[in-house]
Amino acid sequence: MPLARIDLRKGKSVEYRQRVGEAIYQAMRAVGVPENDRFQIFQEHDAGTLVYDPGYLGIARSDDFICIQITWNEGRTLEQKKALYLGIADGLHAAVGIRREDVFINLVEVKRENWSFGNGVAQYVS
């Protein structure tokens, strides 16, 4: 049910993107996302088309800045969300060396009826 949109600077290898995707997926699995529920969209940006403040809230960001937006079902606890944020930042640091300061995460929570996984059917609606 989660859909992860991952925006990063152009020029990273396929292997790099795969490792990023796997780290994000494993962090989501750790907070209860079902196995094989993996939908990710990568968007690469030229310089100047991924705009971020390099010092907002006292966090020093570099050009390795990565923006991750996850749309998923509402209902997770604050503790699960915090664990997800930390799991993604730590996982990306371990997988590809991204500085934790460069990991920006935004969660979008939706109702279960807002998904169709194919066939024009709302699979989560009884």
Global confidence as pTM: 0.93
Tell me the average pLDDT across 107-122: 91
The secondary structure of 27-50, three-state, reads: HHHHCCCCCCCCCEEEEEECCCCC
Q: How many angstroms separate the CA atoms of 65 and 50, rounded? A: 9
Tell me the average pLDDT across 54-64: 96
Contact 102, 65 (CB under 8 A): yes
Q: Catalytic residue at 34?
A: no
Contact 124, 112 (CB under 8 A): yes
pLDDT of amino acid 25:
98
Taking only the tens place, the pLDDT of each residue in 24-37 is 999 999 999 999 99
Which entry of 1, 2, 13, 38 is annotated as an active-site residue? 2
Residue 50 has pLDDT above 90, yes or no: yes
